Amino acid sequence: MTTAPMTILFQGDSITDAGRDRTVSAPNDPGAVGKGYALLAMGRLLSAHPAQSLAVYNRGISGDCVPDLKARWQKDCIELAPDLLSILIGVNDIWHTLEGRYDGTVMEYETGYRALLQQTRAALPHTRILIGEPFVLRCGAVTADWFPEFEERRAVAAQLAREVGATFIPFQAVFDRALTDGSAPERWAADGVHPTPAGHQLMADAWLSAAASWLPAQG
């Protein structure tokens, strides 16, 4: 017996975008979902819940910071009215600042992200929200200049998840645990930011674990 439809939306920057085809808007399309953790999570969801009418969308856009999400939030989130919304944003908010392409502060990240979440709660009061922790590995583009500010931004994401009653996905801890076997950080994210296939698998596993209580029973 088919249960009620459920819409799942992945939002964020290039880590979520993962090379998706933005000309395709249909749900559950592999090209439209990209080649990263969203695709891996979608595959598991669709195989584990064959009786559930699931519609999985990815609206991550490479290069996005919090203000970019705000500019497109009505169309790319509110109008899709997801039952489950997953957001991962923050790495560009510091990376672009360090490269001189953006001047957003930690405070602006916090106030902008909070406003986005408040807008979502007001428009979609029944939507369940997952907030992914921004993460980096210390290799490639990630230098000492990222710290301690990056930890401050990670803390902001955790605090905002508590404020709005969202489920927090501790991606940084997931990658930190992966490094305890002595593997090089490049194994998981070659440039320190964008996951390898192995890194995306770690993210998908963590995402599915965090979302499990909000998903229908397998069947």
Tens of pLDDT, residues 110-124: 999 999 999 999 999
Asked if 133 contacts 78 with a C-beta cutoff of 8 angstroms, the reply is: no
Q: Domains in the chain, ordered, with CATH?
A: 3-214 (3.40.50.1110)
Question: Is residue 209 among the annotated active site residues?
Answer: no
Question: Is residue 191 among the annotated active site residues?
Answer: yes
Calculate mean pLDDT across residues 9-22: 97
Angle of CA points 15, 20, 25, to nearest 5°: 125
Q: Which two tokens stand for residue 168?
A: 């927090």
pLDDT band, residue 3 (cuts 50/70/90): low
In angstroms, how far is CA 107 from the centroid of its own chain?
20
pLDDT tops 50 at residue 166: yes
List, edge to edge, every strand of the sheet that includes 167-169: 52-58, 3-12, 84-88, 128-132, 167-169
pLDDT at 218: 57
pLDDT band, residue 48 (cuts 50/70/90): confident
pLDDT at 184: 97
User: Of residues 29, 76, 191, 205, which has the active-site annotation?
Assistant: 191
Q: How far apart are the first and last CA of the chain?
A: 10
Give the chain's largest Cα–Cα span.
Answer: 55
Question: Is residue 17 among the annotated active site residues?
Answer: no
pLDDT tops 90 at residue 219: no
User: Of residues 13, 83, 86, 194, which has the active-site annotation?
Assistant: 194
CA distance 102 to 217: 44
Q: Which two tokens stand for residue 184?
A: 């090089």
Residue the block writes with tokens 């979609």:
124
Dihedrals φ, ψ of 132, to 5°?
-80, 140
pLDDT tops 90 at residue 100: no
Q: Which two tokens stand for residue 216?
A: 């229908």
Asked if 207 contacts 130 with a C-beta cutoff of 8 angstroms, the reply is: yes
Residue the block writes with tokens 């669709």:
46
- 172-203 pLDDT, tens digit per residue, is 999 999 999 999 999 999 999 999 999 999 99
pLDDT band, residue 1 (cuts 50/70/90): very low
CA distance 45 to 158: 25
> How many other C-beta atoms can be found within 10 angstroms of the C-beta atom of residue 2?
8
Calculate mean pLDDT across residues 28-43: 97
Give residue 177's identity as a one-letter amino acid code.
R
Q: Which of 18-22, 47-51, 62-66, 128-132 has the lowest mean pLDDT?
A: 47-51
Give me the chain's average pLDDT, please. Answer: 94
Asked if 184 contacts 139 with a C-beta cutoff of 8 angstroms, the reply is: yes
User: Of residues 13, 14, 64, 86, which has the active-site annotation?
Assistant: 14
Q: Which of 54-63, 92-101, 117-126, 151-160 has the lowest mean pLDDT?
A: 92-101
Query: In 3-state terms, what secondary structure has residue 68?
Result: helix
Nearest alpha-carbon partner for 196 in 130, 137, 134, 131: 137
